[in-house]
């Protein structure tokens, strides 16, 4: 088949992408001339119609962007057509219907590889919408700042998958997307596989303002894995993935799974941390990490930690007929508390048959009672499981760990066993041992998940039963010393090969594979090597350096220096005053709390300051800068940059706004007719007139150069 080369950034005419699509025959590849590197092809008319099998590949023109100019969807794929999109950025698509960037009309094979979808807006599926009986594959791609506007429940901030499809997502990042159901992904009656991917700061809370209860699934919303009228054991698989700081309303801060028996959901080797559920219009707030009903749910070798709800199930809420098994997993620091003495099931809220095996449930909290496990029925069996240091209500509450005594599979451990007044607390099983498991703080002890290590003298060491036939612990470390330990961690066992940290000042270079590492306490220097690495700095002033692939680096606590280096990296400062440098290629940078310094460097980067007063510099390339909260200092640098403005988030200063190439982007309902533009010395000041609130100060630019054409709405 032939390769056609696009040589022009024009929407129409000779050498254009539109002309190449029209001239191609089924099976052709459309490539781009190297001279189009870091250029933008902006649609000035209508969407691009794909009515034949095609490949569009931007590998020869690094940094190429296909833009809908905030006025048009970019691709519509006809029914029955196979389409592959590789090595491009797809930005600013707009559709009031389905898919702001891409709409596949049905019976398609759609493959997305090494691509970025930025700031697209669609009714259903902010970036991509796929209709029925299609196969969707997403590999090594990023979805950031996409938004679904639908309020009818069929949403998906980045992707909407509609009925009888098969979807696979691998090695991809979903950040800062927003939808009414499914902050990042909405999946209806379709099989879904998610592997080695990250869902960070996606948001479904706009659903809280709809008439009917919506807002479910901060990261992923699933309504069935197969045809509910003829279910055939459809599968939802989440494997080796991260869900961090996603938000929803009502149900499922990380994921919302509503299945139909015999559908199956399996979560394996994954981490759900810092997700939150706010109240929806019905006053519900359930399942901070995971909300699940019907079908079967298996959680294996995973960590659900520091998630929060107001009502029930801070870590996991399992409803109605869902059969649940929890194996080699850790539930830690989850909260169910409404602030007024209400909230049950800090870690788990269960209502059907559940098997809990070699799991650690520790340090969870509930406002009322049952901080570890709340259940309305009794078919819950615990085996080789630790339930320790969970708190609820007053220290004298005898039901602070559980509201029911459950079935005993043997060899369980509870602590402390008595309240502050000396009264015996309710036992989780009749024959549970009351003894101190002596747990370390939650941290990365190897194997790619967070665990509580068993410290010397722990009553859990060599106290389990071997009949459960678990050959490894939650980290993948072999349980080979004769008698297995209780809980998700096997003391003395060596996890799969990776880098080793101590709670000191370490210097570590990771291996030339896809690593996951947490630097523990101390001021650490961590170098990624080859592979797509995930690195958490943990506490201490850390220096994290990415390498030649797409890495996820999170500084965590204290003041960190984070450098992405090559490829498309996701960099998060988190707590502390951090310095974050994107390096080459197209990176996403989050400052989060405190006063951060963000520098995109080379490529088309997206910078989000977070809280407090931050300094953001885009560098070379077409960058997007959002100071977020606080009074921030913004410098776009070279290229066509977009500066995000929102009401109630502070007053920003832009040092180098360039009339023409740069834009001021109005969000969250802000419109130009509400603004007043005035001159203040050598600066132009933009104010929200009806609030007397200064949005932004443009240094060094006269008022005569600023008009409606310098503003865009998202």
| pLDDT tens digits, 538-557 | 567 777 777 767 777 776 66
Does position 250 have pLDDT exceeding 90, yes or no?
yes
pLDDT for residue 17: 98
pLDDT at 517 over 60: no
Q: Which residues, in sequence order, are CB contacts of 380 under 8 Å at separation 6+?
A: 350, 353, 354, 356, 373, 404, 406, 407
Spatial CA neighbour of 236 closest among 262, 213, 212: 262
Question: Would you list the DSSP string of 429-494?
Answer: BTT-EE----EEEEEE-STTSEEEEEPTT-TTTT-S-GGG---B-TTS-B--SSSPPSSS--TTPP
Percent helix, strand, coil in the chain (nearest 5)?
5, 40, 55
Query: Is a pLDDT exceeding 80 seen at residue 428?
Result: yes
The 10s digit of each residue's pLDDT in 623-660 is 999 988 889 999 999 999 999 988 888 899 998 989 88
| Alpha carbon distance 522, 508 (integer Å) | 13
Is residue 206 scored above 50 in pLDDT?
Answer: yes
pLDDT in tens, 129-138: 999 999 999 9
pLDDT number for residue 501: 44
Q: Could you tell me what percent of the chain has a pLDDT over 90?
A: 67
For residue 533, pLDDT over 60 is answered with: yes
Min mean pLDDT across 20-24, 411-415, 664-668, 675-679 is at 664-668
pLDDT of 612 higher than 90: no
Cβ-contact 606, 174 below 8 angstroms: no
Reduced 3-state DSSP string for 207-267: HHHCCCCCCCCCCEEEECCCCCCCCCCCEEEEECCEEECCEEECECCCEEEECCCCCEEEE
Determine the pLDDT at residue 229. Answer: 74
pLDDT of residue 523: 65
Q: Give me the pLDDT at residue 477, please.
A: 93
Span 628-637, pLDDT tens digits: 888 999 999 9
For residues 666-685, average pLDDT: 89
Q: Which of 432-436, 666-670, 689-693 has the lowest mean pLDDT?
A: 666-670
Query: Between 497 and 540, where is the model more confident?
Result: 540
Range among 75-79, 399-403, 576-580 rated most confident = 75-79
Over residues 411-432, mean pLDDT = 91
Would you say residue 499 has pLDDT above 60? no
**pLDDT tops 90 at residue 503:** no
Burial 625-647 (b: 16+ CB within 10 A, else e): bbbbbbebbbbbbebbbbbbbbe
Cis geometry, peptide bond prior to residue 208 (ω within 30 degrees of 0): no
Beta bridge partners of 104: 77, 130
Query: 225-239, 507-521, 523-537: which has the highest mean pLDDT?
Result: 225-239
3-state SS, residue 103: strand
- Bridge partner list, 679: 684
Q: Are the CB atoms for 389 and 382 separated by under 8 Å?
A: no
- What pLDDT sits at residue 14? 98
In the predicted structure, residue 470 carries a pLDDT above the cut 60: yes
Domain residue extents for the chain: 301-496, 641-714
- Is pLDDT at 23 greater than 80 in this prediction? yes
Asked if pLDDT for residue 431 goes beyond 90, the answer is yes
Could you report the per-residue pLDDT of 288-340, keeping only the tens digit for each?
A: 999 999 999 999 999 999 999 999 999 999 987 779 999 999 999 999 999 99
pLDDT at 514: 54
Lowest mean pLDDT among 240-249, 459-468, 508-517, 558-567: 508-517
231 vs 52, which has greater pLDDT? 52
Length of the chain: 714
pLDDT of residue 512: 54
Looking at residue 396, its pLDDT comes to: 76
- pTM metric for this prediction: 0.79
Res 669: pLDDT? 79
Sign of CA dihedral 614, 620, 626, 631: positive
Q: Give the span between the Cα atoms of 313 and 316, in whole angstroms.
A: 5
Query: Stretch 267-274: mean pLDDT, rounded?
Result: 97
Q: How far apart are CA 631 and CA 403, in angstroms?
A: 48
What does the pLDDT read at residue 467?
A: 82
CB distance 103 to 121 below 8 Å: no
- CA dist 340 to 192, 313, 336, 586, 644, Å? 39, 17, 11, 45, 37
Q: Determine the Cα angle at 274 with ends 272 and 278, to 5°.
A: 110
pLDDT, residue 592, reads 78
Average pLDDT, the chain: 90
Kindly give, in sequence order, each residue whose CB lies less than 8 Å from that of residue 497, ignoring residues fewer than 6 positions away.
Answer: 511
* Confidence grade of residue 500 (pLDDT, cut at 50, 70, 90): very low
* Inter-residue contact 486 to 411 (CB < 8 Å): yes
The 3-state secondary structure of 264-313 reads EEEEECCEEECCEEECCCCCCCECCCEEEECCEEEEECCEEECCEECCEC
State pLDDT tens for residues 339-379: 999 999 999 999 989 999 999 999 999 999 999 999 987 69
């Amino acid at each position: 088949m032939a390769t056609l080369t696009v040589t022009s950034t024009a929407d129409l005419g000779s050498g254009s992408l539109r002309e190449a699509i029209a001239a191609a025959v089924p099976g052709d590849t459309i490539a781009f001339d190297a001279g189009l590197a870091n250029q933008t092809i902006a649609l000035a008319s209508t969407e691009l119609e794909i009515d034949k099998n095609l490949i569009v590949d931007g590998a020869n023109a690094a940094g190429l962007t296909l833009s809908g100019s905030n006025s048009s969807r970019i691709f519509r794929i006809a029914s029955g057509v196979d389409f592959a999109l590789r090595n491009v950025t797809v930005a600013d698509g707009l559709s009031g219907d389905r898919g702001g960037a891409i709409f596949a009309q049905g019976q398609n094979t759609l493959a997305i590889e090494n691509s970025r979808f930025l700031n697209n807006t669609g009714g259903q599926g902010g970036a991509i919408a796929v209709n029925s009986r299609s196969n969707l594959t997403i590999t090594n791609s990023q979805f950031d700042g996409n938004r679904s506007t639908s309020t009818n429940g069929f949403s998906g901030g980045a992707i909407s998958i509609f009925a009888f499809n098969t979807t696979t997502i691998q090695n991809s990042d979903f950040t800062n997307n927003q939808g009414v159901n499914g902050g990042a992904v909405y999946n209806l009656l379709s099989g879904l596989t998610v592997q080695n991917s990250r869902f960070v700061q996606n948001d479904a809370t706009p659903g809280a303002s709809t008439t009917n209860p919506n807002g479910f699934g901060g990261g992923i919303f699933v309504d069935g894995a197969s045809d509910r009228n003829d279910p055939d054991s459809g599968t939802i698989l989440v494997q080796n993935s991260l869900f961090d700081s996603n938000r929803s309303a009502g149900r499922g801060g990380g994921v919302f799974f509503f299945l139909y028996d015999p559908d199956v959901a399996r979560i394996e080797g994954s981490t759900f941390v810092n997700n939150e559920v706010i109240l929806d219009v019905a006053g519900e707030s359930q399942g901070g990490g995971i909300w699940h009903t019907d079908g079967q749910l298996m959680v294996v070798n995973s960590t659900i930690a520091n998630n929060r709800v107001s009502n029930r199930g801070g870590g996991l809420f399992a409803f109605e007929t869902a059969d649940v098994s929890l194996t080699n997993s850790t539930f830690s620091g989850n909260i169910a508390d409404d602030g007024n003495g209400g909230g049950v099931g800090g870690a788990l809220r269960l209502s059907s048959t559940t098997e809990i095996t070699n799991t650690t449930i520790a340090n969870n909290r509930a406002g009322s009672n049952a901080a570890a496990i709340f259940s309305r029925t009794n078919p819950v069996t615990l085996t080789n499981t630790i339930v320790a240091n969970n708190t609820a209500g007053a220290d004298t509450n005898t039901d602070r760990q559980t509201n029911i005594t459950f079935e005993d599979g043997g060899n369980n451990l509870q602590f402390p066993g008595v309240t502050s007044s000396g009264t015996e607390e309710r036992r989780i099983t009749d024959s549970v041992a009351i003894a101190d498991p002596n747990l370390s703080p939650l941290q990365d002890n190897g194997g790619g998940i967070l665990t509580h290590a068993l410290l010397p003298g722990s009553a859990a060491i060599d106290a389990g039963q071997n009949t459960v036939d678990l050959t490894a612990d939650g980290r993948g470390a072999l349980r080979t010393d004769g008698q297995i330990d209780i809980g998700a961690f096997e003391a003395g066992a060596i996890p799969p090969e990776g880098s080793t940290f101590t709670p000191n000042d370490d210097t570590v270079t990771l291996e030339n594979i896809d690593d996951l590492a947490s630097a523990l306490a101390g001021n650490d220097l961590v170098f990624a090597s080859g592979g797509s690495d995930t690195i958490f700095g943990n506490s201490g002033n850390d220096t994290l350096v990415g390498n030649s692939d797409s890495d996820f680096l999170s500084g965590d606590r204290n003041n960190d220096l984070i450098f992405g280096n090559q490829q498309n990296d996701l960099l998060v400062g988190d707590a502390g005053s951090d310095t974050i440098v994107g390096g080459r290629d197209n990176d996403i940078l989050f400052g989060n709390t405190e006063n951060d310094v963000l520098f995109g460097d080379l490529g088309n980067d997206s910078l989000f300051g977070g809280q407090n007063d931050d300094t953001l510099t885009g560098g070379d390339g077409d960058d997007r800068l959002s100071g977020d909260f606080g009074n921030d200092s913004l410098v776009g640098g070279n290229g066509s940059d977009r500066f995000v403005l929102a009401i109630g988030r502070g007053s920003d200063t832009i040092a180098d706004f360039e009339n023409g190439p740069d834009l001021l982007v109005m969000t969250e309902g802000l419109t130009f007719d509400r603004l007043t533009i005035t001159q203040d010395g050598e600066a132009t000041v933009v104010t929200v007139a009806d609030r007397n609130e200064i949005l932004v100060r443009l240094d060094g630019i006269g008022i005569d150069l600023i008009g409606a054409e310098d503003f865009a709405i998202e």
